[in-house]
Amino acid sequence: MGKASIGLDERIYEYLLSVSLREAEVLTKLRQETDRHPARIMQISPEQGQFMALLIKLIGAKKTLDIGVFTGYSSLVVALALPEDGQVIACDRDPQATKIARRYWQEAGVEHKIDFRLAPALDTLDELIAQEQTGSFDFAFIDADKRNYPNYYERALTLLRPGGIVAIDNVLWFGSVADPEDTDKRTAAIREFNQKLHQDNRVEISMLPLADGLTLALKR
């Protein structure tokens, strides 16, 4: 994600942050360190993190999934919002970026809430399903490789309880999904995924133009 929420100019974005952002110091530090990472564009924005923390509290979530960890901001913001006995199962296959993540989880004192699985996320999700954890999760955040979105989504939906929410990141893909000239494979994958979700009667949906586009799907 670049700087501002999609379609918001810099001035309005700065205003929005100035009157609403309440970011824990450890999150700010992590964001500043990630800003120096070559793949920094993969980090979620702070107002999106704050929104996700609010959602966690709103639905009283305890058991959550973070699919795509990178340097750990989303896992950390969720873990900080969870009750003491809450849990994030954090899935990522990148040992380097997640080394940064683990350092910050520890610094924030929420390491005990985060069960990190260094493996392809699909393997971890299939393992959870095989362990009969179906229907036991309250919240899932999907922000990993875009071509696997339908696979992550199906598994997340299986693992969620009715009334649980899956949040899917980058659904506007910097606006490219709306450009018919853009035939990039990842753009096409997100476009197809959005269309599929629009027709999916198993969930209630809302697509928010927050950050790079965030769709919420509530399991019926």
CB of 34 to Ca ion, least distance (A): 12
> Segment near Ca ion (CB under 5 A), from 46-54, 128-136, 142-150, 197-205?
142-150
Neighbour count for residue 120 (Cβ, 10 Å):
15
169 is a site residue for Ca ion (CB under 5 A): yes
Query: How far apart are alpha carbons 217 and 26 in whole angstroms?
Result: 29
CB of 170 to Ca ion, least distance (A): 5
- Strand, coil or helix: 161: strand
Choose between 66 and 169: whose C-beta lies nearer to Ca ion: 169
CA nearest to 153, candidates 167, 170, 136: 167
Q: Which of 170, 187, 194, 215 binds Ca ion (CB under 5 A)?
A: 170
Q: Show the site string, 143-162: x = touches Ca ion by CB under 5 A, - = not.
A: x-------------------
Only segment of 111-119, 134-142, 144-152, 166-174 that touches Ca ion (CB under 5 A):
166-174
Of 195, 141, 191, residue with least CA distance to 169: 141
Task: Provide the residue count of the chain.
Answer: 220
| Shortest separation between residue 211's beta carbon and Ca ion, angstroms | 8
- Alpha-carbon torsion 208, 210, 214, 217, what sign? negative
At closest approach, how far in Å is the CB of 62 from Ca ion?
24
Scanning 130-138, 140-148, 157-165, 197-205 for contacts with Ca ion by CB under 5 A, the matching segment is: 140-148
Nearer to Ca ion, 92 or 143 (CB): 143
The pattern of x and - marking residues 91 through 130 that bind Ca ion according to CB under 5 A reads ----------------------------------------
Q: Are 218 and 200 in contact (CB under 8 A)?
A: no
Is the Cβ of residue 66 or residue 143 nearer to Ca ion in the bound state?
143
8 Å CB contact between 170 and 213 = yes
DSSP state, residue 174? G
Please report how close the Cβ of residue 193 comes to Ca ion at its closest, in angstroms.
Answer: 14
Helix H, strand E, coil C: the string for 84-132 is CCCEEEEEECCCCHHHHHHHHHHHCCCHHHEEEEECCHHHHHHHHHHCC
Q: Measured from the CB atom, is 81 or 214 closer to Ca ion?
A: 214
Binding site for Ca ion (CB under 5 A): 143, 169-170
